């Protein structure tokens, strides 16, 4: 994990339970003897996330409606810290208040929470889904330290990304996005089933009680717009690249997570076709998992 990631040394379960007592019923003892939770159980993961956000980011009010993504906090933090590194090495990003745009902020508003508390950045989150829009807005309103720095905007056009969100005279230091990466609902369900089975096997290896109860469930994985779009991840990012050319003067760095390394080459080809001045691939690692985001700029 990133050196500044507050979660790089694991989960201090006792401290988290003290900060958020609702986590306590989900604590189990792994084969190693250490305290943990059953990561195959949705309610346990939800309680852990709430505890992490309260303990490290002072978030008193946080909830995610049933059926919406409950994201792993440590990996999301890495994206924020890597963006901070990108901004620190860019002359045109220095000396001004940083303002980020989170495309598809989700019901959880996780990226703005981490960015605001860690770096005092300002954020706009865009959201096409009505329930997610209302929930993210409520998270901003109910947490006094977030409210002055976070606003949620409704995207009224399903296939638009920046259109209808960025005003003509508005400037964002960066944009960020965790795009839907499946091509269809069927593919998303298959991915969820694989993920749940992997969690079940890992829980059984750790000796976690209740692991055999794990079931593949799309409600644990997210809504359709969070998981899939026509053409999948590559089509979404290429649409984002094309639309970004209309906002060359409004954004410092455009960034987007890329789940499949095979997509990097066609993404780079698209970005260079549109004559971006800068292009970067920033890699991030969480344990054995490697992730990355692409960044491009016209400035």
Residue 198 pLDDT > 70 = no
Smallest CA-to-CA distance from 18 within 52, 59, 61, 57 is with 52
Cα Rg of the chain (Å, integer): 19
By the 8 A CB rule, do 152 and 136 touch? yes
pLDDT of residue 232: 82
Worst-scoring range by mean pLDDT, 113-122, 204-213, 243-252? 204-213
Across all residues in the chain, what is the average pLDDT? 87
Distance, in Å, from the CA atom of 265 to the CA atom of 283, rounded to the nearest integer, reads 15
Structural domain includes residue 176: yes
Cβ-Cβ contacts under 8 Å for 270 (sequence gap 6 or more):
237, 238, 241, 242
Residue 9 pLDDT > 80 = yes
pLDDT of residue 289: 77
pLDDT of residue 186: 52
Residue 229 belongs to a domain with what CATH number?
3.40.50.150
Structural domain includes residue 5: no
Do the bridges between strand 172-177 and strand 99-103 make them parallel or antiparallel, or are there none, so unpaired?
Answer: parallel
124 three-state secondary structure: strand
Structural domain includes residue 1: no
By the 8 A CB rule, do 88 and 153 touch? no
pTM for this entry: 0.86
128 three-state secondary structure: coil
Helix-helix angle 264-273:232-244, to 10 degrees: 20
pLDDT band at 128; cut points 50, 70, 90: very high
Structural domain includes residue 212: no
pLDDT band at 197; cut points 50, 70, 90: low
Residue 129 pLDDT > 80 = yes
How many structural domains are present in the chain?
1
Structural domain includes residue 95: yes
pLDDT of residue 213: 41
pLDDT band at 185; cut points 50, 70, 90: low
Worst-scoring range by mean pLDDT, 18-32, 186-200, 247-261? 186-200
The stretch 140-159 carries a mean pLDDT of 97
91 three-state secondary structure: helix
Alpha helices in the chain (DSSP H): 13-19, 42-57, 73-88, 110-119, 130-142, 185-206, 218-221, 224-227, 232-244, 264-273
Residue 228 pLDDT > 80 = no
Cβ-Cβ contacts under 8 Å for 39 (sequence gap 6 or more):
45, 199, 202, 203
- Per-residue pLDDT tens over the stretch 53-76: 999 999 999 999 998 989 999 999
By the 8 A CB rule, do 132 and 163 touch? no
Domain that holds residue 68: 13-184+220-297
Structural domain includes residue 210: no
Smallest CA-to-CA distance from 13 within 43, 44, 42 is with 44
146 three-state secondary structure: coil
Structural domain includes residue 207: no
Higher pLDDT pick, 12 / 32: 12
Distance, in Å, from the CA atom of 178 to the CA atom of 269, rounded to the nearest integer, reads 20
- Per-residue pLDDT tens over the stretch 33-50: 899 999 889 899 999 999
Do the bridges between strand 99-103 and strand 289-297 make them parallel or antiparallel, or are there none, so unpaired?
Answer: unpaired
Residue 259 pLDDT > 70 = yes
What percent of the chain lies above the pLDDT cut of 70?
A: 82
Question: Hey, which residues does 174 pair with through a beta bridge?
Answer: 100, 253
Smallest CA-to-CA distance from 67 within 182, 188, 220 is with 220
The stretch 141-148 carries a mean pLDDT of 98
Structural domain includes residue 258: yes
């Amino acid at each position: 994990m990133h050196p500044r990631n507050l979660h790089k040394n694991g989960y201090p379960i006792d401290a988290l339970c003290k900060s958020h007592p609702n986590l306590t019923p989900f604590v189990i003892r792994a084969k190693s003897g250490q305290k943990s939770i059953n990561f195959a159980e949705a309610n346990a993961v939800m309680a852990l996330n709430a505890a992490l956000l309260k303990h490290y980011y002072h978030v008193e009010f946080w909830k995610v409606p049933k059926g919406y993504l409950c994201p792993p906090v440590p990996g999301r933090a890495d994206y924020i810290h890597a963006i901070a590194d990108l901004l620190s090495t860019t002359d045109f990003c220095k000396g001004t208040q940083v303002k980020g745009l989170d495309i598809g902020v989700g019901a959880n508003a996780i990226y703005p929470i981490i960015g605001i508390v860690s770096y005092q950045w300002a954020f706009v989150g865009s959201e096409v889904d009505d329930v997610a829009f209302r929930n993210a807005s409520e998270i901003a309103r109910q947490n006094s330290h977030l409210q002055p720095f976070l606003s949620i905007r409704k995207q009224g056009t399903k296939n638009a990304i920046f259109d209808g969100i960025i005003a003509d005279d508005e400037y964002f230091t960066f944009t960020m996005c965790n795009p839907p990466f499946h091509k269809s609902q069927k593919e998303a369900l298959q991915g969820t089933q694989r993920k749940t089975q992997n969690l079940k096997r890992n829980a059984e290896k750790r000796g976690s009680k209740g692991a055999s109860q794990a079931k593949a469930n799309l409600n644990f994985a997210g809504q359709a717009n969070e998981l899939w779009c026509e053409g999948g991840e590559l089509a979404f990012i290429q649409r984002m690249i094309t639309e970004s050319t209309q906002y060359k003067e409004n954004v410092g760095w455009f960034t987007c997570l890329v789940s499949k390394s095979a997509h990097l080459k066609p993404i780079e080809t698209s970005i260079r076709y549109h004559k971006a001045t800068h292009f970067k691939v920033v890699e991030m690692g969480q344990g054995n998992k490697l992730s990355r985001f692409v960044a491009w700029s016209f400035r």
